[in-house]
Amino acid sequence: MTPKISVIGIGYLGAVHAASMAELGHDVIGLDVDPERVAALQAGRAPFHEPGFDELLRRGLASGRLRFTTDYADLAGAEVHFLGLGTPQRADGMGADLSHLRTAVAALAAVLPARDGADTLVVGKSTVPVGTSRELAETLEQVAGVRLMWNPEFLREGFAVQDTLTPDRLVYGIPDPGVRDQRVEMLDAIYAPLLEAGVTRLVMGYEAAELVKVSANAFLATKISFINAVSEMCEATGADVTDVARALGMDDRIGSKFLRAGVGYGGGCLPKDLRAFLASAEEHGVGEALGFLREVDAVNERRRTRVVTLAEEMLGELAGRRITVLGAAFKPDSDDVRDSPALDVAARLLEAGADVRVTDPEALAGATRRLGPERVVAGTTAALHGAELVVLLTEWREYRDLDPAATSELVEAPRMIDGRNVLDPRDWAEAGWEIRSLGRAPTPRPAPRPTPLPSGQRVLAGTTPSRQDIALAAARQLARA
């Protein structure tokens, strides 16, 4: 069977895209250089946790419209090739490492045959620095009939299937948006069900399409760091950042999404995309204009440090102290641990000599790779056992729903740092916890309730009976009896 579509690089983006395109009714082949990943997908096993993806994968395989390969020769003949390669941060600087993309494009160009005069479309989906599409087009378009467009992906991990099948918008980047271009019709034909369902598509130049994506991620990172900078101000002044954020977010022009103060952003996209944007701006001579992104990165970094200093404030010396970290994934509903704030903080606590245990509902494998098996515990109850301090760093529902009274039965000492501002500090303080949250003053624990006096005895308002008073009152009552 000749596939209609190929997807090259079947990581988070590519695997979801391949299965989604099969769901739309296309014949799809996914390719990766990682044979284990290919074997897992071909066997119907999702190599990552993504709600809804397992069913989509199984349906695609069962329909016969979805298959996977490691051999570039199997791609020849497809009409449309999507590029889902990773663009990580370079080892030697802040810019994006385009080597995976360049290698894949060269391998693809080598197997692309002329398709009897019909055009072949290559569609870049990776997040790339401005200028990348034009550079790659030069290599690809040396093969007769091959055309490149850039269609950046905006999916969010945890919502990847939903975002791929019902995106907010589709962005098409072409070399000259002022000229009618057959590429647009070719991609429209692939996305026909989405367009028919009313999804807006925007056609623009290569550079604008590349910039939409990096700007979107830089904006989101800036919004998170903005409220986290305000959080630092709240810590200095005694204001509660959750009050500030709630009121701020009610302004339509600002909006409440991405305005939650906490330990900051992480993952395989925001941190590296922000740095790549900075590096790219410097290369284009406009580094000053985007220089504030350096501060956005620094604010994010400082929040991680703040969790460690809070732990020191609560425990004093950290060496040998038993600390449980709730969460390893960079965000809930994902098992992605790339640049995870939770694991980074756990590593810093370990460096300070603490006896750290980390747990997560889905990301235990990633946590084990980073911290070693002796630091990772499956199951919240087991992980909490014996903790002198609990640090909540990934806001899984399971952790948001923890019952303070029941949880205090499991730990050695009821101390909590809420790194995501998802717990009600009053509830936890009332249950006897010492709780600290980022951007909020410490919540005082209520004074212990006075022991009730024997009936008939009253205490003056504002005074707490001494043991002697209570003993005396009891003796009087006994004497009366």
Residues 355-414 that bind ligand NAD (CB under 6 A): none
Closer to ligand NAD by Cβ: residue 12 or 433: 12
Member of 3, 4, 7, 8 binding ligand NAD (CB under 6 A) = 8
Closer to ligand NAD by Cβ: residue 293 or 308: 293
Member of 6, 7, 9, 343 binding ligand NAD (CB under 6 A) = 9
Q: Can residue 104 be called a binding residue for ligand NAD (CB under 6 A)?
A: yes
**Cβ at position 344, least distance to ligand NAD in Å:** 18
Closer to ligand NAD by Cβ: residue 271 or 404: 271
Residue with the shortest CB distance to ligand NAD: 11
Member of 29, 112, 221, 269 binding ligand NAD (CB under 6 A) = 269
Closer to ligand NAD by Cβ: residue 10 or 279: 10
Stretch that binds ligand NAD, among 98-106, 227-235, 248-256, 469-477 (CB under 6 A): 98-106
CA atoms within 13 A on the CB side of 131: 10
- Of the residues 101, 261, 263, 269, which is catalytic? 269
Q: Can residue 14 be called a binding residue for ligand NAD (CB under 6 A)?
A: yes
Closer to ligand NAD by Cβ: residue 103 or 305: 103
Question: What residues contact 202, with CB distance under 8 A and at least 6 apart?
Answer: 169, 170, 171, 172
Q: Is 234 an annotated catalytic residue?
A: no
In Å, how far are 370, 385, 404, 436 from 347, measured between CA atoms? 9, 20, 26, 20
Q: Can residue 264 be called a binding residue for ligand NAD (CB under 6 A)?
A: no
Residues 29-88 that bind ligand NAD (CB under 6 A): 31-34, 37, 84-87
Stretch that binds ligand NAD, among 27-35, 54-62, 179-187, 463-471 (CB under 6 A): 27-35
Rounded distance, CA 3 to CA 1, Å?
Answer: 6
**Cβ at position 79, least distance to ligand NAD in Å:** 19
Residues 153-172 that bind ligand NAD (CB under 6 A): 153, 155, 157
Dmax (CA) for the chain in angstroms is: 111
Closer to ligand NAD by Cβ: residue 77 or 442: 77
Residues of this chain that bind ligand NAD (CB under 6 A): 8-14, 31-34, 37, 84-87, 100, 103-104, 126-127, 153, 155, 157, 268-269
Q: Give the catalytic positions in this structure.
A: 269
